[in-house]
Amino acid sequence: MAYDDTLLTIDIKSTLDQLLGQLENFETDQLPYATAAALFGVSLDARAEMVRQLPRKFTIRTGEKPWAARALYSYPKNAGLIKKNITSGQGAYVTVATMDNLGRLLTEGGVKEHAKGKDLGVPVLGGGRATPQSLVRGKKLPVSVLKQKNAFQLKSSRGGSILFVRKGKYVPGENDRDKLQAMFYMKRRVRVKPWWDLRALLATAMQQWFPKRFEEACKKAMETRWK
């Protein structure tokens, strides 16, 4: 089973030997089909579990099919393609991954940069982001805040700058520190910490769901004799 560009290898030989020992009248020529069907079923199970975990892990827009879920995919799209790979000697594998770059960073960690080389805005809690669960969008985005007359940036000792907004009018000679609200840390590169361990999810999927899927596939193979 693979996640993104990194192969996550899980040995299922001992599991197969144990399961096959519990079955009667199962012929070995049915093994490629049973293995392919089981892997395909597990890949669907794993993707479904990823979709279920999205609202628990992240603040996302509500709806039956949130945009983040559309970036999650599994491949191959059917058991026949997996069986073809097995019989041709390419091996038994499936891929479960995310096509979204930020989603990949949230699962693996890494450095995020703006596609056009601009600064990225990291929201300040209580400023750019009201609460940890709040979505930052529309007029609250850095590009919109920068257009406000009461917005300005100051260089940060840690690199980059801090985007502020001034609440109320500026009065010369008056200490207006209490009128300033930090909104965003503006940085060219932002390091994203790993937040969602999809490797562990996929490993759990294989350990918990493969035996059941394989047993179902074997029984179906013996009933239909499909090769």
Angle formed by the axes of helices 31-57 and 13-21, nearest 10°:
120
pLDDT for residue 183 = 93
Q: What is the pLDDT of residue 67?
A: 60
pLDDT band at 186; cut points 50, 70, 90 = very high
pLDDT-above-70 percentage for the chain: 76
| Cβ atoms of residues 4 and 196 within 8 Å | no
The model's pLDDT over 68-121, given as tens digits with 9 standing for 90+, comes to 677 787 888 888 888 888 888 877 778 887 777 767 777 777 888 887 888 889
Decide if pLDDT at 62 tops 60: no
CA distances from 44 to 70, 104, 137 (A): 14, 19, 32
- Which of 10-24, 41-55, 159-173 is least confident? 10-24
Tally of CB atoms within 10 A around 121: 22
Predicted local distance difference test score (pLDDT) of residue 226: 46
Higher pLDDT, 63 or 47: 47
The larger pLDDT score, comparing residue 164 to residue 197, is at 164
Mention every residue, 6+ apart, whose C-beta is less than 8 A from residue 50.
72, 96, 98, 198, 201
pLDDT digits (tens, 9 = 90+) for 128-143: 888 877 778 788 889 8
pLDDT at 1: 43
Which 3 state secondary structure label does DSSP give 111?
A: strand
Res. 213: pLDDT tops 50: yes
Is 6's pLDDT higher than 80? no
State mean pLDDT over 46-64.
73
